[in-house]
Amino acid sequence: MSRKIALITGGGDCPGINAFLASAVRRGNREYGASFVGVRNAFAGLAADDPEKYLLPLDTESVVGLENRSSTILESSRFNPFTEDNIAKGYPEKMLKNLKHLGIDGVLGTGGNDTILSALRLEERGFPTVMAPKSIDNDVSGTDVMLGFRTAISFGAQAARSTADSARAHRRISLVEVMGRHAGWLALEIGVASGADLITIPEKPVELAGFCAEVGRIYEECRCANIVIAEGTSISYDDPVIVKARKKSDVVRALMEETPEIDAFGNPKLGGISQILRRVLRIELGLKKIEEVRTTDLGFTLRGLAPAADDIILGIRFGIKTADILLGEKRSGVMVGINGLEIEEASFEEALKPKTVHRSDRELQALGVFISSSSQNTRP
């Protein structure tokens, strides 16, 4: 009997997701005679009171040309049906009931850490689920790269180079902030590829006296400085430079005192560190005007990009492999990934091990990463 598969795309959108969807549908339709339905808003759609309203039937014909499209046609959400609260409210059971009611036999999805964790919980409740990793943060284990990362790097590097050229013309310090949460992959690779003078990553907490001295030295030497800042860069509330800046700048005081909001999976909502560093640098370097330090937040511009060829190919390969596992081999509970040139797979548990930048300080420094002599760690 033909099997019916639900497709979901959870967490932050990114390039390459639609290529995955198109490929999984094509492979599943042609090779295994399966039918597909996209479920909008991921787990929020699956757990809705009226799940029919979230459905988007997909077949080989309707996915023609989808590979090049940006973001995800299925929309996304960070709804977590497995929080203590939501378990108490019966969301997992509701989701299983909906899946049964809709005649769904298995779930294929894309996601980062959080969505893969929910997929694991669904699988533990006996529902066959297979995932493909996506996130511009590149912070899931069991794969060299995730969907979206390569496109984000190439566009991000181009954008950072453009700000660098402008900073040179105006003899300025340019701070380019990028996402990445607690992993520095995005900042590191955009920084290196754009020829940044300095890069900060979450894995290396920043002691500000040393950081400002280094920026000052570069500014003195080149009459401009190009710095890529990871949104998760860690600075201490008690750093003497911050203590001083809190007194001199309302913005620094407000931003340092702001309690970050927390998402459904317990992640703090990051962003804005470059606004603090902008003011700190002005004070520490004794700059006359605030516009001598300019900030650019690349943030969401890297999420909604049309996929580069690398991500289209990866999405297509992930789509084929996930369909083969779920429909051909009738297995589940795994995430597909790429190791070197080969498509492989990892258990959900393996995928959920943290993947941050682990390289020697010597190598990181050679690549331009700022390494403090001491490290304190309280923000974010």
Q: In angstroms, rounded to a whole number, what is the distance separating the alpha carbons of residues 39 and 210? A: 50
Measured from the CB atom, is 98 or 118 closer to ligand F6P?
Answer: 118
| 135 touching ligand F6P, by CB under 6 A | yes
Beginning with the edge strand found earlier in the chain, give each strand of the sheet holding 106-111 in spatial order: 55-58, 35-39, 4-9, 106-111, 129-133, 334-339, 342-347
Phi, psi of 175 (to 5 degrees): -110, 120
With b for 16 or more beta-carbon neighbours within 10 A and e for fewer, the 185-200 pattern comes to bbbbbbbbbbebbbbb
Q: Is 179 in the site for ligand F6P (CB under 6 A)?
A: yes
- Regarding 325 and contact with ligand F6P (CB under 6 A), the answer is no
Q: From the list 40, 181, 204, 278, which residue makes contact with ligand F6P (rule: CB under 6 A)?
A: 181
x-or-dash string of contact with ligand F6P, 245-284, rule CB under 6 A? ------------------x------x--------------
Query: Distance (Å, rounded) from C-alpha 296 to C-alpha 228?
Result: 10
Amino acid at 345: E
DSSP 10: -
Binding mask 57-76 for ligand F6P (x = CB under 6 A): --------------------
Tell me if 146 contacts ligand F6P by CB under 6 A.
no
Least distance from ligand F6P to the Cβ atom of residue 177, Å? 11
Binding flag, residue 136, ligand F6P (CB under 6 A):
yes
Distance of closest approach, residue 226 Cβ to ligand F6P, in angstroms? 21
CB 179, CB 231: distance < 8 Å: yes
Q: Which of 5, 7, 12, 105 binds ligand F6P (CB under 6 A)?
A: 12
Give the N- to C-terminal CA distance of the chain in Å, as an integer: 52
- Count of residues in contact with ligand F6P, rule CB under 6 A: 13
Taking CB under 6 A as the criterion, the residue among 10, 11, 15, 16 binding ligand F6P is: 11
Question: 311 catalytic, yes or no?
Answer: no
Sign of CA dihedral 48, 51, 56, 58: positive
> Which candidate in 13, 105, 137, 311 is catalytic?
137
Enumerate binding residues for ligand F6P (CB under 6 A): 11-12, 78, 112, 135-137, 179-181, 231, 263, 270
Q: Which residues are catalytic?
A: 137
